[in-house]
Structure 1
Amino acid sequence: MKSPTSEIPGTLPSSETSRFIVDGLQPQVAVEPKSVEEIGELLRLAGTQKWGIVPFGAGTKQRIGNPLRRFDVAISLANFNRVPEYEPEDLVVKVESGCRLVDLQRTLAPDNLFLPLDPPYYNESTLGGMVASNASGPWRFGHGTMRDFLLGISVVQPDGTPTRFGARVVKNVTGYDMCKLYVGSFGTLGILTDFYFKLKPLPPCEKTVLVVLKGLSEVGLALDKLFSSPLTPSAVELLNPAALAVLNQSISLTDSKEGYSLVVRFGEVENAVKWQVEQLERLWEPLCAKGIILGDIVEQNLLWEVLREDRSYLNGFQGSVIKLKVNGKSNQLVELTQRLESYIKSHAGSGIIRAFLHLATSPPEQQTMVACVQGLRSYLRPYRGTVIIESLPLALKGTIDVWGCDTKDKYLMQRIREKYDPLGTLNPGRFVV
């Protein structure tokens, strides 16, 4: 095997390779290609030399995954940052994978359009990283996830072949919808270069309702009442008392009132929003200890930024932190919340919990934490639920599989990976297979 050298087109100065460190591994070379052809040539060379390649956008999702088996070349997609096609009348946009989500939203806003995805690291995330990690946030309840908006995709296969799937129109698929295969593949099936997305109009009016409930049992009752009603919120979030305290440190809303809190967002025409807020007040009044209605858009945006982002919760600890993404069902939310003693914020309508747990330094306590994760996985396995460890100190990554995937799906994923990347060139060792 020949080591990568600076002769590769687009190679960055060696002083910049430190920007691409993943789990303590630094690539021998970092490359910033300017065209699909350059990416293809590099992947063909990597295949012959058995290099390990890691695609890079903003790097906000690189902490997720098992340790890399090898890391020879980082491919930065910083040059793929344009919006080549945009048709406001058709509600469709073509955007390159290195474009940041926030920059795309600024392009769409003058036409009162947006791509309704709001993952953590909203201001830094690139569209390529979001597709690769299937990133989403509170809006997923009312609008859907990446798979619901992706119409077309261009990808350079691990053997260097450029390929396109889908198109710029909504009804563009006969047979398998191959676009969805790449969503959540964590850069293991090809290097994503551009996408077609369908868009939505920005809501003309928005209001947010925040309530502090009398107890955890009231959380289940409140959610049952909401989901059986005709109300159509765009987001429904749950905070446990520890997470509510973090929220109040950033934006004081509940006058230090403690408890379990539900936050609901409505976005439609003004009369529809007003009616839904009134109906929600009637539904939840017997269950609430305190309620607040936010109509000011600046205050709402600040609130939802704190709910969306992880930084405030990660900064609440001294020492190491484990971040879990627990995928269950919405009717399991109360029981899962009881099982986790940590900072918890949940996409309550989708059954997804994001938990931030303090990691003690002593080995016995660390093993207790590992046992807690394994216990959650055992509980959720019959329901096809999962527990993904999104953030974990490197020293512990070798002691537990961060994905925890042991279902029959793993065999299918293995077969797909072997077909697309038989040499294991892309992100070797990082994903489930």
Structure 2
Amino acid sequence: MNTNSMQKDSAQIQAIAPKLQQVIGAAYVHPWSQIEQPWQNRISQAIAPTSEVACLAFPQTATELADIVTCAHQNHWGMIPAGSGSKLHWGGLIQPSSLAPHLSPFITLSTQRLNQLIDHAAGDLTVTVEAGMRFAELQTLLAKANQFLAIDPSYPQEATIGGMVATADTGSFRQRYQGVRDMLLGISFVRADGKMAKAGGRVVKNVAGYDLMKLFTGSYGTLGVITQVTLRVYPLPEASHTLILSGDDGAIAEATSLLLKSALTPIHADVVSGTVMAALGLKSAMGLAVRFQSILPSVKEQMSRLAEVGRSLSLSYASYLDDEDVMLWERLQTRMTVAPQSNQIACKIGIQPSKAIALLQELHQLSFPFWSAQIHSASGLGRFICASDFPSNHLLKLRDSCQTHGGFLSILQAPTALKQHIEVWGYSGNALNVMRSLKHQFDPNNLLSPGRFVGGI
């Protein structure tokens, strides 16, 4: 690129923020040089080194957001939707694709000021909120009605509801309550052309637009910008206790199998690696952490039955009650969450549940320090984290093992150099053409987060 072209591009970049300021006001659009931390770091981690971001916008309403998207669509600017930005660095690097090579620079759109409670139908066990409401704030509001949202997301203090839907970030509650898409009853969003749309409703029995809600769950901001969601909620349990079994790998596998076949109803049931056990103050090559929540007599009875299973298999067990139980799962979540600015590698993994123990054994045999793993027993989904110097060939070998047993390994977070070296999603299924077709229908100009999702979508 010659000097004149570079100067022209620089002038075009500098002109973007003033244009958007005319749309929603100067106070809510920040040029790149004026963006505060941690936003600059989080955006920098999300984009390819060759990409540029002109500004960060904070619309106050869904209408303002639609006006910004309309302006971007008319000017062919790339857009990076975000909530608080806590998971903006997950997935592939955002960059102009071969379908839209002109998309540079980008604008980042944060929904964190779209944070109002729209409706809480406590009797119907549903809640409707704007996408920018933080998860922790919503849980506090629901607790006043003795209810809660059965999701255990990463970065719970920062995560927004829209961001949790966009990344399908469920956590250990999946054991009992399934995933985000199973709790999603309604959704409103802004299309890539600035038009507003919605699907579903505010009642549990309303199934209109169900497929559309599934599409947006885990779409990583590539189909539209979520503005409002309706979710099902649940009554807060009377008691919450946890039992962690530890000991021989084979016995842990047998205990897991017996638990899943039994009439017991845990809300969490996770197989964890020895490094996680050590972080919890327990010594074992791996363990099975099982949490029960219900009325107190039921919790006590189920804890007793699981303890008996452990004794029959010569496993050790540790009990955690009430406040200890809450602290335990907070520590476990902290251990399995990588800070946004960290150079550590965080992967989402999936494998046939019956192969989870074998996968942890394979990892242990690599004899490489500083890794941790957590796998949800019923679904086979989980998280694997390791140091930034974990050999890439080991990652690829781990991915092969997961895929051999009907699963996957997707790199959520990693140093930019590694994301440029390894295809982060590692998708090997046959639905890529369908996904690309859907992307084209929703975003024909490829304006929304190009490159972040599977196959460079």
TM-score (norm 1): 0.90
Check the 8 A contact 2:66/2:195 in 1, yes or no. yes
Distance 1:278 1:24, change over 3 A: closer
Q: Provide the residue aligned with 1:166 in structure 2.
A: 200
Check the 8 A contact 1:307/1:345 in 2, yes or no. no
Say which of 15, 18, 38 aligns to 1:6: 18
Q: Within 2, Cα distance between the matches of 1:398 and 1:189? A: 23
The alpha carbon displacement at 1:288 in A equals: 4.1
Q: Provide the residue aligned with 1:336 in structure 2.
A: 359
Matching of residues 277-426 of structure 1 within 5 Å: 277-295=303-321, 297-310=322-335, 314=338, 320-341=343-364, 342-360=371-389, 369-381=391-403, 383-426=405-448
Q: Provide the residue aligned with 1:363 in structure 2.
A: none
Q: Does 1:16 align with 2:35?
A: yes
Distance 1:13 1:378, change over 3 A: closer
Q: Within 2, Cα distance between the matches of 1:24 and 1:331? A: 35
Q: Provide the residue aligned with 1:243 in structure 2.
A: 276
Q: Within 2, Cα distance between the matches of 1:344 and 1:35? A: 40
Check the 8 A contact 2:245/2:252 in 1, yes or no. no
Check the 8 A contact 1:54/1:71 in 2, yes or no. no
Please report the RMSD computed on the Cα atoms of aligned residues, expressed in angstroms: 2.0
Q: Provide the residue aligned with 1:48 in structure 2.
A: 74
Check the 8 A contact 2:30/2:57 in 1, yes or no. no
Q: Within 2, Cα distance between the matches of 1:417 and 1:260? A: 41
Q: Which amino acid aligns with 1:192?
A: I
Further displaced range: 64-73 or 420-429: 64-73
Q: Within 2, Cα distance between the matches of 1:274 and 1:199? A: 25
Q: Does 1:227 align with 2:260?
A: yes
Q: Within 2, Cα distance between the matches of 1:310 and 1:412? A: 37
Check the 8 A contact 1:17/1:27 in 2, yes or no. no
The alpha carbon displacement at 1:42 in A equals: 1.7
Q: Within 2, Cα distance between the matches of 1:142 and 1:74? A: 36
The alpha carbon displacement at 1:160 in A equals: 0.6
The alpha carbon displacement at 1:226 in A equals: 0.7
The alpha carbon displacement at 1:174 in A equals: 4.8
Check the 8 A contact 2:199/2:210 in 1, yes or no. no
Q: Within 1, Cα distance between the matches of 2:218 and 2:134? A: 18
Q: Which amino acid aligns with 2:380?
A: G
Check the 8 A contact 1:17/1:30 in 2, yes or no. no
- SS for the counterpart of 1:111 is coil
The alpha carbon displacement at 1:289 in A equals: 4.1
Check the 8 A contact 1:120/1:310 in 2, yes or no. no
1:311-339 Cα distance to aligned partner (Å, 9 max, x none): 6x758xxx942222111121010111122
Distance 1:431 1:425, change over 3 A: same
Check the 8 A contact 1:22/1:62 in 2, yes or no. no
The alpha carbon displacement at 1:112 in A equals: 0.9
- SS for the counterpart of 1:359 is coil
Distance 1:152 1:174, change over 3 A: closer
1:123-160 Cα distance to aligned partner (Å, 9 max, x none): 11100100000001111101111111110000000011
Q: Within 2, Cα distance between the matches of 1:155 and 1:13? A: 23
Check the 8 A contact 1:53/1:75 in 2, yes or no. yes
Further displaced range: 156-165 or 38-47: 38-47
Q: Which amino acid aligns with 1:6?
A: P
Q: Within 2, Cα distance between the matches of 1:419 and 1:167? A: 23
Distance 1:84 1:176, change over 3 A: closer
Aligned length: 413
The alpha carbon displacement at 1:86 in A equals: 1.0
Q: Provide the residue aligned with 1:251 in structure 2.
A: none
- SS for the counterpart of 1:119 is coil
Q: Within 2, Cα distance between the matches of 1:350 and 1:407? A: 19
Q: Within 1, Cα distance between the matches of 2:127 and 2:187? A: 12
Check the 8 A contact 2:29/2:56 in 1, yes or no. yes
Q: Within 1, Cα distance between the matches of 2:151 and 2:138? A: 11
Check the 8 A contact 2:320/2:328 in 1, yes or no. no
The alpha carbon displacement at 1:259 in A equals: 3.1
Q: Does 1:62 align with 2:84?
A: no
Distance 1:220 1:392, change over 3 A: same
Q: Which amino acid aligns with 2:55?
A: V
Instruction: Note the residue ranges of structure 2 that are not aligned, 5 or more in a row.
Output: 1-8, 96-103, 365-370
Percent identical residues:
31
The alpha carbon displacement at 1:431 in A equals: 1.0
Matching of residues 42-191 of structure 1 within 5 Å: 42-69=68-95, 70-174=104-208, 177-191=211-225
- SS for the counterpart of 2:437 is helix
The alpha carbon displacement at 1:355 in A equals: 1.6
Q: Within 2, Cα distance between the matches of 1:294 and 1:288? A: 20
Further displaced range: 39-48 or 186-195: 39-48
Q: Within 2, Cα distance between the matches of 1:16 and 1:176? A: 38
1:342-367 Cα distance to aligned partner (Å, 9 max, x none): 3222222321232222233xxxxx6x
Distance 1:176 1:346, change over 3 A: closer
Instruction: Note the residue ranges of structure 1 that are not aligned, 5 or more in a row.
Output: 249-253, 361-365
The alpha carbon displacement at 1:258 in A equals: 3.1
Further displaced range: 260-269 or 334-343: 334-343
